[in-house]
């Protein structure tokens, strides 16, 4: 099979992916140079947010395998071939990394570690109340590959966890009964701008908000207003409307915001190359493909 690796990858990342994929699939031809493969020869495109139109002329394409778990940007490419199966990245190592990030954020909110960081910057010595894990209810929105693992890890740590997925009842009820809200929903038409003024107003006063999914799910001006009014006590944000977060953006210096550079859970070629290889082999051997995206649902 002919495998075309393409997308937004820095040269060292590209080299790492090529090496790992070639090790995992020694019998296949894998290249990032389309002229060497020949557009008509490509069977599989392994993609990391390719520029729109990049897959349009691959006449023999039989599988698009994303290296990223979220496929919202890919699905936004109007030229993406409609009849070619699209698979996303599902890797237990990524779910573990996401669970670590969520646990760090929730623990830090529970024990006031973000507040202590602010106090250090102000040179202030003051002990804050110590809350037990079982005194906090944590909402995990999205109970898929990542949210499911996050919910398990938080529950094992002693938090009261309530999950929310499609058909899970009114979101406002979940928001109103949670001390921390962790967002792990995919970005779709239904979840775009989900976190607006009304949703923040439905949250418990002073609750924590942890967004590890997509920036476009949050109306940033509404979150800033909710932080300024104290409705949201602290926000941990890994994803933003515009990435990288622009210089001078209010989130950078807001005392109640912790910023991460879209690093909550990276795809690691050391484990993820085997996930890609399994799907390429399934295609070659005529077995069912794994982790297919339902384009109608958008995830
Ligand atoms: P999955 O597709 O496995 O799970 C999605 C979950 O969200 C499912 O439980 C699904 O419900 C639920 N859901 C989808 N739409 C709705 C809706 N409208 N209302 C309520 N629930 C809904 O996704 P993953 O867990 O693998 O990934 C989640 C997201 O995390 C990705 O889409 C990506 O955007 C983000 N991500 C962020 C990273 C980072 O570093 N910050 C890294 C990797 C991913 P149901 O169970 O009913 O289908």
pLDDT of residue 142: 98
Contact 139/209 with Cβ under 8 angstroms? no
pLDDT of residue 261: 98
Instruction: Output the CA 184–ligand 1 centroid distance in Å.
Output: 5
pLDDT digits (tens, 9 = 90+) for 163-172: 999 999 999 9
The token duo for 203 is 């949250």
Q: Which residues line ligand 1 (CB under 6 A)?
A: 69-70, 142-147, 165-166, 184-188, 190-191, 212-214, 238-239, 262, 264-265, 299
pLDDT band at 93 (very low <50, low <70, confident <90, very high): very high
Model pTM? 0.98
pLDDT at 187: 98
183 C-alpha to ligand 1 centroid (Å):
9
Q: Per-residue DSSP letters for 30-87? A: EES-HHHH-GGG--EEEEESPPTTTTTT-TT--EEEESSS--HHHHT-TTS-TTS-EE
pLDDT at 92: 98
**Residue 37 alpha carbon to ligand 1 centre in Å:** 34
Closest C-alpha residue for ligand 1 atom 23: 144
Query: Quick one: what percent of the chain has pLDDT higher than 70?
Result: 100
Report pLDDT digits (tens) over 190-239.
Answer: 999 999 999 999 999 999 999 999 999 999 999 999 999 999 999 999 99
Active site residues: 214, 262
Give the pLDDT score at 262.
98
Among the atoms of ligand 1, which is closest to the Cα of residue 190?
Answer: 18
Q: List pLDDT tens digits, range 262-294.
A: 999 999 999 999 999 999 999 999 999 999 999
How many Cα atoms occupy the beta-carbon half-sphere of 47 within 13 Å? 27
**Structure confidence at residue 2 (pLDDT):** 98
Per-residue confidence band for 154, with pLDDT thresholds at 50, 70 and 90: very high
User: What is the structure's pLDDT at 96?
Assistant: 98
Q: Give 186 Cα–ligand 1 centroid separation in angstroms.
A: 4
- Mutate which of 99, 166, 167, 261 for ligand 1? The one with the most ligand atoms within 8 Å of its CB, which is 166
Nearest atom of ligand 1 to the alpha carbon of 213: 35
């Amino acid at each position: 099979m002919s495998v075309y690796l393409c997308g937004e990858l820095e040269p060292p990342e590209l080299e790492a992916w090529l090496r790992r994929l070639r090790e995992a699939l020694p019998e296949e031809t894998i290249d990032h140079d389309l002229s060497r493969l020949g557009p008509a020869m490509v069977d599989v495109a392994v993609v990391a947010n390719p520029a729109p139109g990049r897959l349009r002329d691959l006449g023999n394409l039989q599988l698009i395998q994303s290296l990223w778990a979220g496929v919202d940007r890919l699905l936004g490419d109007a030229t993406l071939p409609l009849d070619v199966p699209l698979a996303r990245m599902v890797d237990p190592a990524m779910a573990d990394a996401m669970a670590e990030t969520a646990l760090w954020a929730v623990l830090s909110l529970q024990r006031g570690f973000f507040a202590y960081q602010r106090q250090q910057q102000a040179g202030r010595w003051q002990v804050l109340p110590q809350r037990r894990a079982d005194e906090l209810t944590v909402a995990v929105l999205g109970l898929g590959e990542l949210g499911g693992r996050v919910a398990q890890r938080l529950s094992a740590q002693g938090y009261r966890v309530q999950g929310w997925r499609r058909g899970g009842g009114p979101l406002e009820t979940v928001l109103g009964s949670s001390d921390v809200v962790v967002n792990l929903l995919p970005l779709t038409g239904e979840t775009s701008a989900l976190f607006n003024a009304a949703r923040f107003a439905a949250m418990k006063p002073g609750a924590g908000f942890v967004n590890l999914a997509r920036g476009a799910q949050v109306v940033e001006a509404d979150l800033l207003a909710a932080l300024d009014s104290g409705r949201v006590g602290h926000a941990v944000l890994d994803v933003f409307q515009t990435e990288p977060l622009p210089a001078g953006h209010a989130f950078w210096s807001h005392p109640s915001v912790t910023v991460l550079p879209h690093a909550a859970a990276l795809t690691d070629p050391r484990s993820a190359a085997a996930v890609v290889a399994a799907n390429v082999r399934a295609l070659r051997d005529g077995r069912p493909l794994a982790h297919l995206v339902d384009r109608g649902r958008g995830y």
